Structure 1
Amino acid sequence: MVTARLRFWEGVSPNALRLMVTTMILSILMMGIAAVTRTLFILRLDLGTEFFGVYNAFAAFGYTGMAIPAGLLGRRFGLKPTMVFGVVTFLVGYLLGPLVEYTPHTLWVPWSLAAQFISAAGYSILSVNASPAIMATTRPDNRSKTYSLLSTTRNLGVFVGLVAGGMLPTRIAALMNWSLDTTDPYRVALLGSGLLAVSALFVVLRYQEGDASITAKEPVAREGLFPALSLGLVLVYIVLSQSAIAVCHSFCNAYMDTELHLSADFIGWLSALGQVFAVFIPFAVPRLRNRMDNSSVLILASLVSALLVAPIIAGESWVLAGITRMGVMSMSAIWMPVIQMYQMEMVQAEYRPIAFALVSVALGANFGLISLFGGYIIEAWGYPSLFLIGAVAAVAGSVFLLAIRARPAMQPRFAN
């Protein structure tokens, strides 16, 4: 078993490995520690549930708003300089956030939103350019494995971050004799963990642009250089299908804190347990793609994600919430590498940063809308209504992609 796992790494280029490590480090911070520690930090600023929804929305707006400029920057200045700029931008925003209490109270809201926007924009700049950078260093016959490993390393980073996000504030509070009801342990944890981004900067600086060894012929879209119609249809699917995942990512931890009154430690470990599945489940992607095409895998992942939201709607229990949290995270780990391959193979290499930027816009728009209106929906109708909306939208996305497959004129058309 161990030998088989090690063989899975064979044939992956050093450049791709460097980008995986960089992505993993930023995932530890952005998707792991921030998902727990920063959430609890913001909630303890006592700015209200509505603000928490807007705060999450600004992360999506930062990611979305910077996606297309990031693609243009990558095409204009090269992938490596743009990714370095992205890591630096992320670091600035991540470290500014915990310093909000050192500003006048009237600046707490704009300061927090600006820091959230900047860190998300930096993460967007890296992500938008990392995907085509990996594509450029990977042969088509090895692409499924490489993108599966990218998903695995990203989710491994999230796992480490979730564990650290739950443990760090608790340990710091015990060491300093601080209450977990104050912001102090969370602020120190965020500032200390932010220094990890410096190591990501050193790793991405070792990326060698133009060091690709692509020997097999690339698939080229029949619709021309940029298949606008096909990609546009895929973007509609993305906005709908990600709703179940976005709802849980944005509000599951807040739900467990405010409604179930679980400790930060427990929330971190519960989320981390879901990441254990998310770390290993991408290894199934190559086998799934041997049995089904990309669109079938995407439809299956979206439908299962919607189904897994049902437990958290059914009742107030940490067991039910944990099933939803862990299950949705696992499906996201399957969905992400497949959607990356699906849309990347639709366009030629020079347009891939722009193509993935548009995908990032769709992802960010979905997260942004859910985060922006989620807080208001919770205040009006409660958490179950919001989770139900996310599940229904994910089912609608699957139906939409089925409709595309059923009509040849609407299908993305690839070269043979």
Structure 2
Amino acid sequence: MREKLSYTLADVPANLYLYLLAVTAIGFTIDGGIYSVLLNLYLLRLGYGPEFVGTVNSAGLLIFAAISLPIGSITRWSSRQLLILGMGISFVGVAGLPLAEWFPPAWQAPLLIGMRMLGMVGLSFFFVHCAPYLMGLTPDSWHSRALSWQTAALSLAGFLGGVIGGLLPGWLGRLLDVSLSSPRPYQYPLMLAAVLLLPAIVALWWLPETAAADDDPAASVHESERALSWQNGVWGIVGLVLIVRVLLMSGVGIVNTFTNVYFDDGLGMSTERIGWLTALGRLFGIVVALAIPYLVDRFGNYRLVIGITLLSAVGMMPIVLTGSEAVAGWAFVLVTALGALRYLAFLVYALSLVSTKRRSLMAGTAEMGIGFSFAAMAFLGGYMIVWYGYQVVFLGGALLMVLGVVAFWLLFQESPARPRRRGY
């Protein structure tokens, strides 16, 4: 057993651990960790309502979506350089957002929106270029495993960040002798998140450049034969992927943006419990992420996209229909835990539709779809919650996901994303 473990560890591609360190710092702070738990609660404590929470989130997601495709088209700089640039931009936005409270009232709302947008610009750089860079950093036989490790690292870091993010306001409230209805116990953890993002920038700086992969003629012919018979070039695929991605992620955008608001405002749930539920979703997501290579081998990405999206849509309903903290909480955990598989299955399927040189472009398309979907849901959802209530918004998001599954099934076929060989 020791020899097998030693061989396995020795077989890990060089620099993968350093890359995962950067990913962990990002997940702990701004992608599923501290920020995911506390940002919306901080805005509520500043005296804003769900509509402004939706505006802040939608503004960030809209800029994320708008620049994802152009970022994926950049060829002048390497993926590593763009990852470093993106994290530097995110640091400025993440550090600046909690400082907006100290500015004059007339400046506060624009600064909150602007800093959120800046932070999301950096995240767009990261998510567009992380998969192409990771695939260049590792050999072909490691691609599926490395991507699942990245997702597991994000989930683990999000779990730890969610737990700590949920506990910090209570600790700081007691330490500073201020009420949890005050914004101060939420402001300081958001500042801490900016500081903890710095190791990601350092780790990315130490990582090597990866050579741009050239298309293998035989592989290109194979990909052309596997592509959809009615497509008219790569931009036709880009347009279809974008439309389907927007629909598939619509309900997830509702869950990610408004569940903690509903738990706090609708169910009166404590911040600690919200943090624990967010963290549990990430914790179970680790198991799902590590199982991705085996699930892909068993079912294929095409079937996984359909099955996991439908399961997520069904899982959304108990969040708002039961009125029970326990049922709503566990339903939220389920939808969150499925996020790793839901994200990666579609991404790998989409990348399989294009040649190697087009990976960044397709990754940018997928991220643009997520961003547009989340932005629309965050903006419209904030107002619709005020007008119609949480139930209508959540059920509407679930319905849009089902429509996305139907569109995916009608427009795409299974063969492009079936695994080429077992164990990959």
Residue type at the aligned position of 1:42 = L
Tell me if structure 2 keeps the 8 A contact 1:139–1:216.
Answer: no
Picking from 356, 361, 374, the partner of 1:367 is 374
Output the amino acid matched with 1:156.
Answer: L
- Maintained 8 Å contact 2:80/2:204: yes
**In 1: Cα distance, 2:329 partner to 2:8 partner:** 30
What letter corresponds to residue 139 of structure 1 in structure 2?
Answer: P
Q: 1:405 to 1:201 in 2, by over 3 A?
A: closer
CA gap of 1:318–1:307, structure 2 versus 1, over 3 A, is same
Question: 1:7/1:165 Cα in 2 relative to 1: closer, same or farther (>3 Å)?
Answer: farther
Q: For residues 300-351 of structure 1, what are the alpha-carbon distances to aligned partners after superposition, in whole Å with 9 as ceiling and x for unaligned? A: 1101001111211322121122122101111111111222211223323332
Q: Distance in 1 between matches of 2:306 and 2:93?
A: 35
Q: What is the identity, as a one-letter code, of the residue corresponding to 1:59?
A: G
| 1:1-400 → structure 2 map (5 Å cutoff) | 11-30=11-30, 31-73=32-74, 75-210=75-210, 219-220=219-220, 221-222=223-224, 227-400=234-407
Per-residue CA distance 1:251-310 (angstroms, 9 max, x = gap): 100100101111111110111111111111112222222222211011011010011112
- SS for the counterpart of 2:206 is coil
Query: Structure 2 vs 1, CA of residues 347 and 312 (structure 1 numbering), >3 Å: closer, same or farther?
Result: same
Contact preservation (8 Å) 1:29, 1:194: yes
SS in 2 for 1:208: coil
Q: Distance in 2 between matches of 1:352 and 1:110?
A: 35
Distance in 2 of aligned mates of 1:332 and 1:10: 30
1:77 partner SS: coil
Residue identity opposite 1:384 in structure 2 = Q
Distance between the aligned counterparts of 2:338 and 2:47, measured in 1?
33
TM (norm. structure 1) is 0.91
Taking the aligned partners of 1:49 and 1:381, their CA distance within structure 2 comes to: 12
Q: What amino acid does structure 2 have at the position aligned with 1:146? A: A
Whole-Å separation in 2 of the counterparts to 1:6 and 1:110: 54
* 1:100/1:112 contact within 8 Å kept: yes
1:174-197 CA-to-partner distances (Å, cap 9, x unmatched) read 111111111111111111221011
Q: CA separation in 1, counterparts of 2:417 and 2:3?
A: 38
Contact 1:226 1:347 (C-alpha < 8 Å) held by counterparts: no
**Which sections of structure 1, spanning at least 5 residues, go unmatched?**
none
C-alpha distance after superposition, 1:110-148 (max 9, x if no partner): 100000000011111122111110121233333221111
Deviation digits for residues 30-74 of structure 1 (CA, Å, limit 9, x no counterpart): 12111111111111111222111111102211321231332244x
Instruction: For residue 175 of structure 1, give the secondary structure of its aligned residue in structure 2.
Output: helix
Q: Which moved more, 1:297-306 or 1:213-222?
A: 213-222
Where does the alignment leave 5 or more consecutive residues of structure 2 unmatched? none
Distance 1:2 1:318 in 2: 45
Change in 2 beyond 3 A, CA 1:12/1:59: farther
Change in Cα spacing, 1:157 to 1:215, as seen in structure 2 (3 Å) is farther
* C-alpha distance 10-394 of structure 1, shift in aligned 2 (>3 A): farther
- The 1:232–1:99 alpha-carbon spacing in structure 2 relative to 1, beyond 3 Å, is same
* Counterpart-to-counterpart distance in 2, 1:366 and 1:177: 41
Encode CA deviations 1:144-183: one digit per residue, 9 max, x unaligned: 2111111111111211111111011111111111111111
**Cα distance in structure 2, aligned partners of 1:44 and 1:381:** 23
Contact 2:248 2:402 in 1 (8 A): yes
SS at match of 1:195: helix
Per-residue CA distance 1:360-409 (angstroms, 9 max, x = gap): 11010000000010011101110011110111111111112222346x9x
Distance 2:113 2:34 in 1: 18
**SS of the counterpart of 1:14?**
coil
- Tell me the distance in 2 between the aligned counterparts of 1:369 and 1:185: 30
Cα distance in structure 2, aligned partners of 1:219 and 1:114:
44
Contact 1:219 1:414 in 2 (8 A): no
Q: Separation in 2 of the partners of 1:231 and 1:69?
A: 12
Whether the 8 Å CA contact 1:219–1:345 is kept in 2: the answer is: no
Would you say how many aligned residue pairs link Structure 1 and Structure 2?
A: 412
Q: Distance in 2 between matches of 1:218 and 1:198?
A: 43
Verify the 8 A CA contact 2:35 2:193 in the aligned structure 1.
no
Q: Secondary structure at the match of 1:76?
A: coil
Deviation at 1:415, TM superposition (A): 12
Counterpart AA for 1:392:
L
> Counterpart of 2:54 in structure 1: which amino acid?
G
